[in-house]
Chain A
Amino acid sequence: MPEPLAFKDHSGESRIYFDRVVVAFALLLLATLFLVARMFYLQIIQHDLYSTLSDKNRIHVESVPPVRGLIFDRHGELLADNIPSFRLAITKERVKNLDDTIAEINKLIGVSDDRIKSFNRRQSQRRRPYESVPIRLRLSQEEIAKVSVALYDLPGVEVEAKLIRHYPMGELMAHAVGSVRRINESDAKRIDRIAYSGTDHIGKIGIEKYYEDLLLGKVGYRRVETDARGRVMKILDSTPSSQGKNLKLHIDANLQKAASDALGDRRGSIVAIDPKTGGILAMVSKPSYDPNLFVNGIDFATYAGLRDSIDVPLFNRAVQGQYEPGSTIKPFVALTGLITGATNEEYKVKDPGWFKLPKSNRLYRDWNWTKDGTGGHGLVNITKAIYRSCNIYFYELAVKLGIDRLHENLAMFGFGKNTAVDLPEARSGLLPSREWKMGARGEIWYPGDTVNIGIGQGDILVTPLQLASAVAVLANRGKVLAPRLYMDISDDDLVPPQKQNDIDLIPDHDWDLIIGAMEKVVHRGNQGFGENGTAWAYIGRGIKYRMAGKSGTAQVVGIAQGELYDEELLTERQRKHAWFVAFAPIEDPVIALAVLIENGGGGSKNAAPIVREVLDYYLIEGHGKRVAKK
């Protein structure tokens, strides 16, 4: 305060000044109060908000992605591995000029336009600040060296190492194991973001998909303090990730290879099952593809090539391919006949080469039908009907059984439903019934529809897996085990429960009869024309073990009435599919399998030799051997 003395002598000017100073100082105090109020607002009233913001600034929770579980075959061969992959990633926030940086990288190691596009796309997606986005994947050692030298001048660019899925057997196991793919937008919406933070891939197909939860592992965390440039200053605390479960499959890589080699370049599928467990020993679908292509995103041209190929290599014929079973259905129809009493061991049918329903002119032909009436198999009992694959016997039997009994009993073997435990792509085929026809076509069931079902034609469809599985039930004499790949899963673990009732209605005698007839398909020889098993001529000689088999031939195009089937006139794609199913050894079956060759022609001639090759390998040459390292 000014001393009063100074104002005794009232100078006008100093009074004016004094008045003004008082006003100014009052304003100054007011303004200070305003600043204090502002600080009070920020520091006291909004303290919690800014405290949170400050922590969010510096504390980041980094995920520590888990290592994906490995997949092995039954002998411990690695089917799916994790290998380090180096990639070049850019953190946008630390880059001065993104375009210049990309241009610089392009000059060093080359970046395709596709990659730049996908980089820009991922860049524009929602992401954390300071999260890096890869610009180049799968760097070679040389590229790493080239880039490393230049990194000093490229702030925000880093070489990152990540473990990625690798399928050491490539094409061979593509359809058996499935594969992982990059997590895409639609996956991202579906999955638990937290469980997948730091993980780029997800099982998309096959085992990789079905056991995704087991394989994934548990994500770990690291709370880190970072500076404004995203550099980690210190780790506050961490929870380690835990590796996903390693899976051991029933698959025998050795057998898979043998089966694949036996099929060669033909389109088709082989499924082999261990009847004792339901475990799938081999699952081949050809043509195949290299699943490693998909792991880090395939380029569009390659993908389009695979997708649009007429040979549909991406299609898993073993579980997705639905074909007429043809004559391979006959043992099952015969069993149905025996259970229901519609036929028995002694019952014989006269086969003139054709069959007609009463009051119908439609001619159902036997496979050896001729126009001049010399075809047919003469008097045929149930055994001969199987080893000679007599259509007329089964036409008659089917009609006698009727669709309802056929449907009910064939379903017990797994036809018409998907019994596979851990094959997400598996389809259920089609086992027609009255209800199905009414629902699908709006028509009632005609007796004529039943006739064709008796020989596995018409509307009935099966997958190679279903057929192999049904054969395994035969080999087991009724014990039904759902087909599966993962070894450590027991019937109790099945989710959802698919446990089936064993077919215990069938007496041993009937099993012996049917299995015996199937044995004759392969082993009955030297009996003269028209008396040998259908497959004997092709595979029956010199076998060191006993097997039960059945051939089948599935139509691709319908053949008009009264017309002779002439393979020569059909184009390759119109030829019949060749089937052969078998299990061996008869006395103690260890393998049941189904072989399908698309447009392969006759089953005995074309598919049976492949079965023989696979069985020879499995039972004699390579049983229990470990696969040679590639």
Chain B
Amino acid sequence: MSQDFVRSMHQADYSLSRRPGPSSLFHIDVPLLMILTVIMTYGLIVLYSAVEQHNAPMISQGIKIGIAFVVMAVMAQISPVFYLRLAPWLYLVGVILLVLVLFFGYSVNGSQRWLRIPGLFSFQPSEIMKLVLPMILAWYFHDRHLPPKIKHLFWAAVMILIPVLLIGRQPDLGTALIIGTSGLLVLFLAGIPLRYVLGVIGLAIAAAPALWFVMRDYQRQRILTLLNPESDPLGAGWNIIQSKTAIGSGGLMGKGLFQGTQSHLDFLPESQTDFIIAVLAEELGLVGVMFLLILYILLLGRGVLISVQAQDTFGRLLAGTITFTFFVYVFVNIGMVSGILPVVGVPLPLVSYGGTSILTLFAGFGIIMSINSHRRISM
């Protein structure tokens, strides 16, 4: 790379010492693809139950998955170098879109999150930012000596805060927090001193009460509901009581596929989207949940392995952050459905119905595959 000859030389040296494994086929990582396929299949079975065994939503979801696979394959073909070069521009575009959404976006349920391209489609710019923020941070640290210095951390913090605050304004606190978390993940993986890490954690805890005052009423209500869902069992507490009931009544082995009463008798809200893990837990029990979690761990393990084997800082940080952020989704989703986190609109990765989430995730996996399969010297 022209930007930093010394570092390039160094990495070239590192690359020479390693032969790429046989895991890639047309830049598609086979182990990752296999795990993804198993998870998707498993998820579709649960989804089939959640949509009352209707075919139409399954076909629609199938098409979305197909598109997502194509996107992943395309993303995998593109060299990481290209992402590295494009990162600042993508970030700029992402921020502009987030600003636009504040002015021209349209509201759903009181939050202005969507941007409409007239005659074409609508999308949430915050989705793009889920990939672009790790990318810009990885780009930023790629050129710099690690562990980062304090002034670099300052600029990194600015890069994180701009999209986080813009998304928080929509308001979409859940996404803002997750994107913020992914930004902090980059910093953590980049090796910021542990005292900073602890400092940030301490700061977050200290800031939590302050957060209460900037929250909107419905957001506060969600926190209160988490603490005591029985206070309003037919209102705000309904979702969480019903999802806990669905999960708990599933027991070890579950009620059997398609046999969940909570979901099929409509007691469980959002059973196809955010609360689908409750359907899984009710029908397939603890065993079914464990199986999904193991699949997730395998997926993440593969992602972590790829990141560790990446050739440069950009690849390492990007692949690592995408991987760990994926787990943040899993944790937040299962945590909220099982009643240990407030209800924020986070779907269960790869299982919940809907295209946006899957598209973003697959794009992320495409980038990971690209990082794994594009090796500067040996390929």
Contact = CB atoms under 8 A, between A and B. Distances in A.
A2 B305 contact: yes
22 contacts: A16-B147, A17-B189, A17-B190, A17-B317, A21-B308, A24-B188, A24-B320, A28-B324, A35-B293, A36-B293, A39-B281, A39-B338, A46-B248, A50-B244, A50-B247, A50-B248, A51-B251, A54-B245, A54-B246, A54-B262, A58-B267, A226-B265
Given A9-B14, A129-B234, 7 more contacts: A20-B188, A36-B293, A39-B247, A44-B286, A53-B248, A57-B245, A93-B234
B63 interface: no
Contacts of B244: 42, 50
Interface of A: 1-3, 5-6, 8-9, 11-14, 16-21, 24-25, 28-29, 31-32, 35-36, 38-40, 42-44, 46-47, 49-51, 53-55, 57-58, 93, 129, 225-229, 233
B77 interface: no
B173 interface: no
Contacts of A225: 261, 265
Interface in B209-268: 234, 241-242, 244-252, 261-262, 265-267
Nearest to A1: B305
Contacts of B14: 6, 9, 11, 14
Interface in B167-225: 185, 188-191
B308 A2 contact: yes
A129 B281 CA distance: 27
A11 B255 CA distance: 53
Contacts, number: 160
A610 B250 CA distance: 79
A11 B146 CA distance: 11
A44 B248 CA distance: 7
Contact of A21 (B241, B248, B267, B307): B307
- Overall SS of chain A's interface: helix
B152 interface: no
B304 A57 contact: no
Contact of A227 (B18, B265, B289, B309): B265
B100 interface: no
Nearest to A49: B248
- Overall SS of chain B's interface: helix
A21 B307 CA distance: 9
Select the residue from A11, A16, A43, A49 with max chain B CB neighbours within 10 A: A43
B313 interface: yes
A44 B251 contact: yes
Contacts of B317: 17
A20 B251 contact: no
Interface stretch (B25-33, B39-47, B157-165, B327-335): B327-335
A49 B244 CA distance: 11
B331 A51 contact: no
Contacts of A21: 189, 304, 307-308, 320
Contacts of B242: 57
A331 to B, nearest CB: 72
Contact of B266 (A28, A35, A227): A227
B249 A47 contact: yes
Interface in B253-312: 261-262, 265-267, 281, 285-286, 289-290, 293, 296-297, 300-301, 304-305, 307-309
Nearest to B307: A21
A227 B265 CA distance: 4
B324 A24 contact: yes
B331 A31 contact: yes
A227 to B, nearest CB: 4
B10 interface: yes
B76 to A, nearest CB: 21
B92 interface: no
B107 to A, nearest CB: 21
Given A17-B191, A43-B248, A2 B309 contact: yes
A-B pairs, 3 with minimum CB distance: A50-B248, A54-B249, A16-B191
B17 interface: yes
A35 B191 contact: no
Interface residues of B, number: 58
A259 B185 CA distance: 98
Contacts of B113: none
Contacts of B307: 17, 21
Interface string B335-351: 10011100000000000
A51 B293 CA distance: 23
Contacts of B338: 35, 38-39, 42
B376 to A, nearest CB: 15
Contacts of A3: 18, 309
A11 B10 contact: yes
Given A2-B309, A35-B331, A58-B261, A43 B189 contact: no
Contacts of B334: 35, 38-39
A31 B181 CA distance: 15
Contacts of A50: 244-249
A54 B262 CA distance: 7
A155 to B, nearest CB: 15
A233 to B, nearest CB: 7
A51 B267 contact: no
B316 interface: yes
Nearest to B331: A31
A550 to B, nearest CB: 71
Contacts of A13: 145-146, 191, 313
Given A20-B188, A35-B293, A43-B248, A6 B261 contact: no
B249 A17 contact: no
Nearest to B145: A13
Nearest to B293: A32
Contacts of A12: 146
B88 to A, nearest CB: 21
Interface in B133-148: 145-147
A17 B320 CA distance: 9
Contacts of B251: 43-44, 47, 51
Given A32-B293, A38-B338, A43 B252 contact: yes
Contacts of B248: 42-43, 46-47, 49-51, 53-54
Contact of A32 (B189, B252, B297): B297
Nearest to B11: A11
A226 B320 CA distance: 48
Nearest to B327: A28
A459 to B, nearest CB: 63
Contacts of A226: 265
Contacts of A53: 241, 245, 248-249
Nearest to B249: A54
A11 B309 CA distance: 13
A293 B244 CA distance: 50
A92 to B, nearest CB: 10
B267 A228 contact: yes
Contact of A36 (B249, B290, B324): B290
A9 B13 CA distance: 9
Contacts of A18: 308
B342 to A, nearest CB: 15
Select the residue from B17, B281, B316 with max chain A CB neighbours within 10 A: B316
A170 B297 CA distance: 79
Contacts of A47: 248-249, 251-252
A5 B18 CA distance: 7
A54 B17 CA distance: 59
A55 B251 CA distance: 14
Contacts of A5: 17-18
Given A29-B297, A42-B247, A43-B286, A57 B261 contact: yes
A9 B308 contact: no
A572 B42 CA distance: 94
Contacts of A6: 14, 17-18, 308-309
A35 B335 contact: yes
Nearest to A28: B327
A24 B249 contact: no
B125 to A, nearest CB: 28
A51 B262 CA distance: 10
